[in-house]
Every structure is written in structure tokens, then in C-alpha cells.
Structure 1
Amino acid sequence: MDLSHLGAPIGPMIRVHGGFANRMYRLDTDQGSFAVKELNLVDRPWTHPAEDVFRFEQAAFATGIPMPEPISASHDMLVHRWVEGEKVPEAPVPGAYAREIGEILARIHVLDVAWSHVSVEDTTSRDWAGLAARAAATRQPWADELASNVETFLAIANFVETCERPGPVVLTHRDIQPWNLLSREGRPVVLDWELSGMLDLSGELGSTALSLAKGPGFNDIKPAIFRSVLDGYVAGGGALPPPGPSWFVYMIGGWLGHTRWNILRCLAGVEASTGPDLALSHESVRNGVRGLPDLFSRLPELEALLL
């Protein structure tokens, strides 16, 4: 990494563990403290549109969106000024916090930013039976659970492929989850913009509102918190799309793809040089194998949150 543009280091660069896709470091220099993100170029399932994302972040930061200042971007590295704040637990957030997130989304969606990257949507994979067989042959600790859910995963894949998205499509963050947020004096700071891109509005709102209204599972969803995100969006000038399953298809499809990606990393059985540690990949697979069928079974219950 060439980090000379950040100043003279005043200590070693420190690994910050916990990233689900990339690797993060903190670097303190005579010019301040920086978050240095090393992008996974080895096996990530998408091409990172570094220039477009950086331009989008600059525009958001310039309008006062609460976020780390973007410093530089390249095909393999993102740098932001370090921001202090409290981690947001995976639990229902306070109503005022949820409402402000909705307002932030409304402000993001009206940014006039050129977006040149054209994403190529891969066909949803249906190789779950083969993955289960490989997991059993290599004695993965979650192999039995995966095998017992193959038909459910095929049904989920079919739902992701066939669910109708009503639009509009907006340029947005696409990954506002508790682990991509900080709380500073009780107010949100939005981190980790590298997944930014075009997305059906219902998918962005549904994913964000649900993630902020629940705990680690789906047994304790707070409808009032879910609605607070939507109320904030409307208060910020946004218009809600029609209710329906499209509000949750992006969350389900993203989790499905993330689970499969981590299954492949676990089947390789080696500690990769970039991306999440192998132990974190195993944790992600267990969470997906158990959580996705539960989430999928609750679609009618989730749609009722929109009424």
C-alpha cells in the first residue's frame, strides 16, 4: 500500500477486525487518523466501481450527510478520515435514531451524481444441492443444516429471481445495517459506502428499516421502529413505493449471495490473504443457513409491517 499522501506515520498501522468482506486498518499520522480499507480482489463476486463510489461519497459528504470524510480511492484501497463513535448493537434502535436514518436516505436519494458503472446482475445460483454434498464430503460443521435446507434455498433463489420490483431505481448506499453505523451523541454516522449503487427504492427502504427494527433474529421486530424509518423518509421529502414483497427481496437476495460466497471460502479450507478470516466465514455461513429460512418463512409477517 502506498499511503504516503496521508502523512508521516506516528505508529504502526493496526488491523481492525470484524469486516464481513474486506479488511480494515487504522493509521495514525502527523495529518490525523485514517481508516484504510483493503478491498478483497481475490474472490469478491463483483467489480468495485471505485471512482463512482468516491464521487458519490464526496457529494454526500459535501451536503452534510453524517459520514467519514472520503480521502482517496483506488481499485484496491479506500481511505477515510477516522471517526470516533459508539458501535450500534444489532438490536432495535431508538425511534429518533431510526427516523433520522430515514431522513438521511431521503437526502441521499436526491443527490445529483453521475453514475457510469453498469452492474451486471448474475443469475441467482441454484447449486445448493452440490454445495451441500461438498460440505458433507469435507465435514463442514454446518453441513447437516445446509443439507436439510436445500429445497428452501432453491425456493429462496426462485423468489429472488422472480419477485417484481416496482421502482423507482435510486442511487443509494445499499447497505445501511447496524454494523455499518456509529452513534455519536445519539445520532447516526453512516459508514462503509463501497456497495453503493443503483437499487430499487423498496429494497433499500425495506432492508434498512428491518435491520434497524430487530435484534439478531426475527422474533423481536419492533413495528414502531420500522415505521419510524419510513416516517423519516417521508419527512425528508421522499415518497414511499407501494407495499409488497419487493421491500424484502434485496435483503434476502443479498444474504443468499453472501452465504454462498462464504460457503465457497469455507470449502476451500484455507485462510485467504484478503477478505474475512476463515472463522468469520464459518460464522456467516451458520447465520445464513439458520437465518435465511426463518426470514423467508416470515415474508407475510414482514409485509404486514407496510400496512
Structure 2
Amino acid sequence: MDLSRLGTRTGPMTRIAGGFANRLYRLDTDRGSFAVKQLNQFDRRSTYRADDVFRFERAAFAAGIPMPEPIAASDETLVHRWVEAERVPEAPVPDAYAFEVGEMLARIHALEVEWPDLTAEPASPRDWPELAARAVATGQPWADELASAVDAFLAIADFVDDCERPGPIVLTHRDVQPWNLLDRDGHPVLLDWELSGMLDLSGELGSTALSLSKGPGLDSIEPAIFRRVLDGYAAGGGMLPPPGPSWFVYLIGGWLGHVRWNIQRCLDGVERAGGPDLALSHESARGGVRGLPELFRRLPELEQLL
């Protein structure tokens, strides 16, 4: 993408630390500041639909959804107006913030944006025994933990594939998590729309409400904050789906795919030009090997939040 149309640079483009899948840079020009995202083209977990997502973003921005203004998009690069705001820590958010996120989701789901028909998602991979064997053979620091959790990961894959989703299916952001939110004077700003697409409503609500109501792990969940996200959704005109395990299957399935992807990157042992640094992939692999089986084990407790 030709970035010269953004204006004359007033300084070097600076890489911003973090990024679980792509790499982000800040570009300052005489026309303002921009967030320039370099999309990972080497080992994406799914095809990125740049034109469809950009159209969805433009509609959301025009409708007043609090988010960075989308400027340009291609299969390799995304550009948004830079937003000055605070990062959201991994901790239960304030009551009013949770309510606003719920309202925002209801407004997003009410947008009338055409979306192409897509084929059903493939079945969850079941190569966990092979991955564990490779991890042990290559001396990965988390190999023994993965080997002992193989049966748990196979059970999680079965749950993800077999859990019934009640619907409705909505066009949505699909990744409303603390790391994709900013806090601007106590109000949410939603970032990183690349995963946008169709999703069962219960999966989006459960994933969002749980992530905003807890800190690291599962021992600091605040049920009142979980419910405030849902209160905000209802106040924004949304209708809540029936309770059940489907509220958490998208979160569990997404984490399962993310862990496997990072394990594969670690097994390859190559520092690629796109995507997260190898050290971050090791951190994500280790965290998932330890945390995902525990999350799955405590699914009955999570359902009590509903």
C-alpha cells in the first residue's frame, strides 16, 4: 500500500509493542497520526476478507460506533486514524464501561450490512498427540505439560464441534476482548475488526461478558460485571439467547485454535517477518497449554453466570 497519500511524514514509522497475530506501527504525518497494521501473510489461521471487513467497518463508523476511523485496507495493510486512549487492563472493567460495551454490541448487531455466504467452518483438528510428540522431541519448554493434557485437548475439540448453537447468527466483530478495547475518558473504543463475520449470538455475548468480568485466570470473575454487559445489550435493543454451554463454545474454540497455531509456530522455530514474535508465541503456547484445560473443566461454573 502506498502510504504517501496519508501526508508528509513528520517522523519515522514506529512499531507498537504487542500484537497476537499481526504487527502495528504508528505513522505521524502533516495530516495527523495513523495506525498502520501489517497483516500476517505467512501463516494466517483463516482467509482475511479485506473488502468485506472494510465495508463493515465503514458502516459501523458511520453509525457512530466508538472506533478508530477506517482509512484504507488491502490484503496486506490496514490503516486507521490513530486514537489517543488508555489500554484496558486484564481485570474486571467498571460497571458503566461493561454496560456501554453491551449497548455497543447491540448497535453493531443491528447494522444492515450485506455479508457473503461462507462455507461452514471445518472440524477442529485432532492432531494433538502428534503435536505433543513433536514438542517433546524438539525440547519445547512446555512439552511435558502438553503431553499430559492431550486427552483434554481432544475432549475440547469434541465439545467445540458437537455443542449446539441456538442462534440467531449475527454479523459482528467476533473478538471484543480487553486487548481490542481502549478506554477514552471512561468510555470504550473498539479496535481490530479483522475477525469480523457471522457468529452465533450466544458465543459473542459469552466471550465478551466473561473477558470483561475477570482478571487473569478464572478466580477473579465478578458476576455483576458479567451481567452488566448483558444488561447493556438488552438496553440497546438486543434479545438475549437461552442459557447453555453455547455461550462459551466460541471462546473455547477460538482459544483452542490460537494455542495450536502458536504451538506450530514454536515447533517451526522460525522468526517470521509477519505475525507475533517467536517469544510471544511461546508465551501464548505455554499459557494455553496450562489454562485452556482448566477453563474447559470449569465450564459448569461458567454456566452459572447465566
Shift, 1:119, TM fit: 5.0
Task: State the partner residue of 2:132.
Answer: 132
Distance in 2, matches of 1:87 and 1:211, equals 15
Distance in 1, matches of 2:28 and 2:97, equals 30
Task: State the partner residue of 2:60.
Answer: 60
Shift, 1:176, TM fit: 0.5
Distance in 1, matches of 2:79 and 2:233, equals 29
**1:135-180 CA distances to partner (integer Å, 9 max, x unpaired)?**
0000000001100100000000000000000000000000000000
Distance in 2, matches of 1:204 and 1:294, equals 21
Task: State the partner residue of 1:16.
Answer: 16
2:75 is the counterpart of 1:106: no
The gaps in structure 2 that reach 5 residues or longer are none
Task: State the partner residue of 2:25.
Answer: 25
Shift, 1:252, TM fit: 0.1
Distance in 1, matches of 2:88 and 2:129, equals 36
Q: Which residue identity is paired with 2:76? A: D
C-alpha spacing 1:51/1:112, structure 2 compared with 1 (3 Å):
same
Distance in 2, matches of 1:122 and 1:289, equals 22
Distance in 1, matches of 2:279 and 2:122, equals 27
The gaps in structure 1 that reach 5 residues or longer are none
Task: State the partner residue of 2:202.
Answer: 202
Distance in 2, matches of 1:201 and 1:211, equals 16
Shift, 1:5, TM fit: 1.6
Task: State the partner residue of 1:287.
Answer: 287
Q: Which residue identity is paired with 1:132? A: A
SS at match of 1:93: coil
TM-score calculated relative to the size of structure 2 = 0.99
Task: State the partner residue of 1:266.
Answer: 266
What does residue range 149-160 of structure 1 map to in structure 2 within 5 Å? 149-160=149-160
Shift, 1:2, TM fit: 1.9
Shift, 1:7, TM fit: 1.1
Q: Are the equivalent residues in 2 in contact too, given 1:52–1:117 (CA < 8 A)? A: no
SS at match of 1:266: helix
CA RMSD of aligned residues (A): 0.8
Q: Which residue identity is paired with 1:270? A: V
Task: State the partner residue of 1:248.
Answer: 248
Task: State the partner residue of 2:192.
Answer: 192
**1:180-223 CA distances to partner (integer Å, 9 max, x unpaired)?**
00001111000101110000000000000000000010011100
TM-score calculated relative to the size of structure 1 = 0.98
Q: Are the equivalent residues in 2 in contact too, given 1:72–1:80 (CA < 8 A)? A: yes
Shift, 1:16, TM fit: 0.7
Q: Which residue identity is paired with 1:157? A: A
Shift, 1:122, TM fit: 2.0
Q: Which residue identity is paired with 2:79? A: V
Distance in 2, matches of 1:7 and 1:266, equals 39
SS at match of 2:80: strand
Distance in 2, matches of 1:255 and 1:185, equals 30
Task: State the partner residue of 1:38.
Answer: 38
SS at match of 1:153: helix
Q: Which residue identity is paired with 1:24? A: L
Task: State the partner residue of 1:227.
Answer: 227
Q: Which residue identity is paired with 1:193? A: W
2:302 is the counterpart of 1:302: yes
Q: Are the equivalent residues in 2 in contact too, given 1:49–1:117 (CA < 8 A)? A: no
Distance in 1, matches of 2:94 and 2:249, equals 25
Q: Are the equivalent residues in 2 in contact too, given 1:10–1:29 (CA < 8 A)? A: yes
SS at match of 1:293: helix
Q: Are the equivalent residues in 2 in contact too, given 1:61–1:69 (CA < 8 A)? A: yes
Distance in 1, matches of 2:56 and 2:270, equals 36
Distance in 1, matches of 2:302 and 2:223, equals 9
Distance in 2, matches of 1:35 and 1:135, equals 36
How many equivalent residue pairs? 306
Task: State the partner residue of 1:51.
Answer: 51
Q: Are the equivalent residues in 2 in contact too, given 1:54–1:73 (CA < 8 A)? A: yes
Task: State the partner residue of 2:144.
Answer: 144
Shift, 1:117, TM fit: 5.7
SS at match of 1:165: coil
SS at match of 2:182: strand
Q: Are the equivalent residues in 2 in contact too, given 1:175–1:195 (CA < 8 A)? A: yes
C-alpha spacing 1:250/1:99, structure 2 compared with 1 (3 Å):
same
Q: Are the equivalent residues in 2 in contact too, given 1:204–1:250 (CA < 8 A)? A: yes
